[in-house]
Structure 1
Amino acid sequence: MFTLRRVIRYGFIGGSILGTGISLHHNNYDISGIGVVRFARAGVALVEIATIYRRDLYYREWDKSTKEYRDQRSKAHQKAADRILELCCLNRGVYIKVGQHIGALEYLLPIEFVNTMKILHSQAPSNTLEEIYKVIRQDLRRDPSELFDSFDPEPLGVASLAQVHRATLKNGKEVAVKVQHHYVRGNAKVDMHTMEYCIKIMGWLFSDFKFQWLVDESKKNLPIELDFLHEGKNTEKVRRHFEHVKWLKIPKIFWELSTDRVLVMEYCEGGQVNDLKYLKAHNIDPMDVSNKLGILYSNMIFLNGYVHSDPHPGNILVHKNKKGGTDIVLLDHGLYAKPDNYERELLLTGGALVLPDIADILEKVDRQMLLVLKTNDLIRGIETTLQTHDRMTAFWVMSKCCIKTVRNEEISKTDSYWRKFALVMRSSWSLFKINFFYVYMGFAQGSFYTTMKQLFI
């Protein structure tokens, strides 16, 4: 005889089995796509990480100024980072996205976490060609053979949320096809809630574990990044912002072949910006590249107020154009941030004032300041690779943009003609001194001609 308790029990069991079956079907019968499996993996990892810190670091009171404490803390961080990397590779999707974000926050997070997660920038797991075709069929309601004359099975690049393939349309145009991983959207909400619970528990157990800001940022940005049509709109907006910059290439979007999970765009030739061998093989001047990167990102941050939220070398290509000049190709426009007035003030007055106690600051610091710091790391890294860091070309350009922005801000706040004239003269004098010093540096280092050419880009 069935009682109410039995009906509820069997109904729950049946519902769980049905839900698991549906989840398996939507994830191509990959067990990693089941929510309860992903949640269990995260829970086990949380317990193991908590045990690592409790056993290796928090088992006693430390004098935090000693080398012994720093060494022990570093060992604990490394063990925890290795375990998080393992979890990211198992659960993929959003987990890899967060891991990549951690790997890009050099100087802001423990170096053990940053160095460990950097591997995810170049070794994210890829999907099979049939899985890619399945998403295209579902979204465009046509078979890929009807849309493309050819479709390269090897991806040009694989990221946490999508991968990109080179293809040729029926009219002969070469395109890059960005296709979202089939498992990402269905798991995104559960994954974010799981990570938030884990972070809260770790913060409750260990007062030094302050990563809630990372979860908040990911929760806000993830729905935007999952909408490829939004990325297409951003691409067009950036093209309008910089249409006067002849050396900047922004891929064209093929809207009739794009959906929120499939983005078809113009294929652009080029090598990765930090590939020094490619630059040498194509006779591209590294100093010219550094200068143009400085112009691009300085204008974005300080003049346009439109901050690229995912600056890393994989999103920037360089290409020798037909006239012999160097073009910069900017890819991946999925996420931008536009600072409000308070944020603009923070950007202009400098983040160095808030960096001494970084663990607390990361909980409170404006999100756009983190993007500026990430861009700073990007430029530093590229200039080091291109061996142009001694000249600091990009920061010469950035300094000039800062001066112009401060001048324009001050001019907008006064009605006095003479005050405006004085501000213009003062900023002109500052720009002259910066340019004069840069020319002197170029003369001293034997690259006077290149320096003078850069002055007039």
Structure 2
Amino acid sequence: MLSTRTSRLLKYGSVVAASGSVLYALNNSNNTLDSIGVVRLGRAAFTVFKIGAIYKRNLYKHDLDKESTEYKDLKSYCHLQGAENLLDLCCKNKGVYIKVGQHVAALEYLLPKEYVQTMKVLHSHAPPNNIDDVYKVIREDLKADPKEIFAEFDIEPLGTASLAQVHKAKLHDGTTVAVKVQHPYVQGNSRVDMKTMEILVKVVSWVFPEFKFQWLVDETKKNIPQELDFELEGRNAEKVARMFSHLPWLKIPNIRWDYTTSRVLTMGYVEGGQVNDLKYINENKISAYEISDKLGRLYSHMIFINGFVHSDPHPGNILVRKNEQGNCDIVLLDHGLYANLSRHTMIEYANLWLSILDRDRKAMRQHCKNLGVEGNLYGLFACMITGRTWDSIMSGIEKKKPTSGEKDLFQKEFPNLLPDISGVLDRVNRELLLILKTNDLMRGIEYTLKTGSRQGAFKVMSQCCVKSVYKQRIDEAKTKFNKFTNTIAQFWMLFKLNIYYSYITLRSLAQSN
């Protein structure tokens, strides 16, 4: 029997879904009506109701052996149908919904492949706006007709994302640029979507008290305004370019401030293929391991050394290309969302990673507590940030790549842990929420490239963690002698790490031969 609360939710959910479907039919593609909250809410409710019906009608209605081929084929069919309906919802509601879809597409280690593969189109091929809408925003913000600003302007966008689309253009001085133009209705729709999300979260929390999702509303409310400010994105791009000016292989497009506003961002045009485009990577003879190593080095420094972390590294925002020396360049795009980590969070997170690599349960528990996750949930949190099972953590995650069996176990067991996961996300230090998202997206890239858990990546991350921890100790040392002893201790730790990772690399090579 269904609980009273659940029955009531289904009853009212059906009414909202039916109302939404009627409004949607009347609405069709009218953008003005589309910004009305009840239309977007009704469309979302109707889609959720429809997906639920697909599983109930095709899967749960039949008493099949869950290990049988028939059950597995039927489940795959339901996943595909559900994914296609979800994609349709994201494409119609756009904005925040596309951002959610992009995140779904990155969770290859966790979600069914049907959802991941279907949603991948949203990484750079979200539904575009009409070119007239693009020109309208340019006219309003740059106070001039596009023909007065650009000698050429490609009508077909290079890529379309959740909040904007990018067009290749040429200025009258001959400079080729990429012009990022915000979708004209996204600001109004995002406010509606935030209110809708808040209502849905309250309903879910009422029906299922064990699920805690208010953190999601709070974080989205905080992050969306930042991502809608393209001038902030330009400043972030210049900041990270200065931070990593010593890395010749990292390319950040330069900002043309004379043609940039809060809704229009004009930057240098940089060519390259998406980081998950295996065909492009193979055709250009780019090493997947080099890509993975450079990304690991970049993000380890961002998280543990700089505390300024690019937090939307989905494949559409990272390009790769072969340079004149025959090596790989990394092109980092979309700098609208960055995590700013306090010194305390950086140190605790670095210590947590070191305790995980040391397989030190006591230290893991303590550093998790310092980050807001108390009690026995420390083990689950360790699994969440590493993307590995507890058995793999205790065996040494740096020693071997995750297997297909480990991925299958994640997909099978994690749904049962969703209440605990939501509890962890509700309690954890707010600064780490964007880092967890970044981890998910980076693991998705590594999984596609088939380069996960390389010793080189763990070595760089371990070195960054040690440097972060000892920098704090050296800075806080009250005497020259203490500064000296901590400097020596840091040197010794880094030396031991080099010896250890050299050993396991040689052992891996010996085993493979």
The equivalent position to 2:426 in structure 1, one of 353, 360, 363, is: 363
> 1:216, 1:111 → 2: CA distance?
29
1:333–1:240 CA distance, 2 compared to 1 (3 A): same
> 2:36, 2:297 → 1: CA distance?
46
Aligned 8 A contact 1:396 1:434 in 2: yes
Aligned 8 A contact 1:46 1:198 in 2: no
Render the CA deviation track for 1:103-131: whole Å, top value 9, x for unaligned. Answer: 44667889997676555335421112222
Matched, 1:90 2:153: no
Q: 1:167 matched to which residue of 2?
A: 169
1:52 CA drift (Å)? 9.2
Q: 1:395 matched to which residue of 2?
A: 458
1:45 CA drift (Å)? 5.0
1:301 CA drift (Å)? 0.6
Render the CA deviation track for 1:399-424: whole Å, top value 9, x for unaligned. Answer: 11111111111222222434333332
Q: 2:309 matched to which residue of 1?
A: 307
> Aligned AA for 2:498?
N
SS of 2:166's partner is strand
1:291 CA drift (Å)? 2.4
Choose between structure 1 and 2 for higher RCO, CA contacts under 8 A separated by at least 6 residues: 2
Render the CA deviation track for 1:306-330: whole Å, top value 9, x for unaligned. Answer: 0112122221122223344432211
> 1:404, 1:217 → 2: CA distance?
30
1:191 CA drift (Å)? 1.8
> 1:12-411 to 2 correspondence within 5 Å?
31-45=33-47, 84-104=86-106, 117-350=119-352, 353=368, 354=378, 356=380, 357-389=420-452, 391-411=454-474
Q: Which one is further off, 42-51 or 133-142?
A: 42-51
Aligned 8 A contact 1:391 1:441 in 2: no
1:142 CA drift (Å)? 1.4
> 2:88, 2:172 → 1: CA distance?
42
Q: 1:430 matched to which residue of 2?
A: 493
1:245–1:136 CA distance, 2 compared to 1 (3 A): same
> 2:45, 2:249 → 1: CA distance?
49
Aligned 8 A contact 1:355 1:361 in 2: no
- Say how many residue pairs are matched: 414
> Aligned AA for 2:249?
W
Where does the alignment leave 5 or more consecutive residues of structure 1 unmatched?
1-23, 59-65, 448-457
SS of 2:476's partner is coil
1:152–1:189 CA distance, 2 compared to 1 (3 A): same
Aligned 8 A contact 1:156 1:166 in 2: yes
Render the CA deviation track for 1:293-313: whole Å, top value 9, x for unaligned. Answer: 122111111110101121222
Aligned 8 A contact 1:403 1:427 in 2: yes
Q: 1:61 matched to which residue of 2?
A: none
> 1:382, 1:371 → 2: CA distance?
17
> 1:314, 1:428 → 2: CA distance?
39
1:331 CA drift (Å)? 0.8
Aligned 8 A contact 2:108 2:447 in 1: no
SS of 2:431's partner is helix
1:344 CA drift (Å)? 2.3
Aligned 8 A contact 1:98 1:218 in 2: no
> 2:93, 2:120 → 1: CA distance?
17
SS of 1:412's partner is helix
Q: 1:420 matched to which residue of 2?
A: 483
Aligned 8 A contact 2:103 2:441 in 1: no
Aligned 8 A contact 2:37 2:196 in 1: no
Q: 1:20 matched to which residue of 2?
A: none
1:55 CA drift (Å)? 11
Aligned 8 A contact 2:137 2:184 in 1: yes
Aligned 8 A contact 2:106 2:444 in 1: no
Aligned 8 A contact 1:239 1:250 in 2: yes
Q: Which one is further off, 233-242 or 271-280?
A: 271-280
Q: 2:383 matched to which residue of 1?
A: none
> Aligned AA for 2:96?
V
Render the CA deviation track for 1:58-117: whole Å, top value 9, x for unaligned. Answer: 9xxxxxxx99xxx9xx99x96887765443332212222233345446678899976765
1:302–1:237 CA distance, 2 compared to 1 (3 A): same
1:130–1:28 CA distance, 2 compared to 1 (3 A): farther
> 2:128, 2:45 → 1: CA distance?
25
Q: 2:363 matched to which residue of 1?
A: none
Where does the alignment leave 5 or more consecutive residues of structure 2 unmatched?
1-26, 61-65, 357-367, 369-377, 381-419
Identity of aligned residues (%): 54
Q: What is the TM-score of this pair, normalised by structure 2?
A: 0.70
> 2:192, 2:450 → 1: CA distance?
44
> 1:106, 1:371 → 2: CA distance?
18
1:215–1:112 CA distance, 2 compared to 1 (3 A): farther
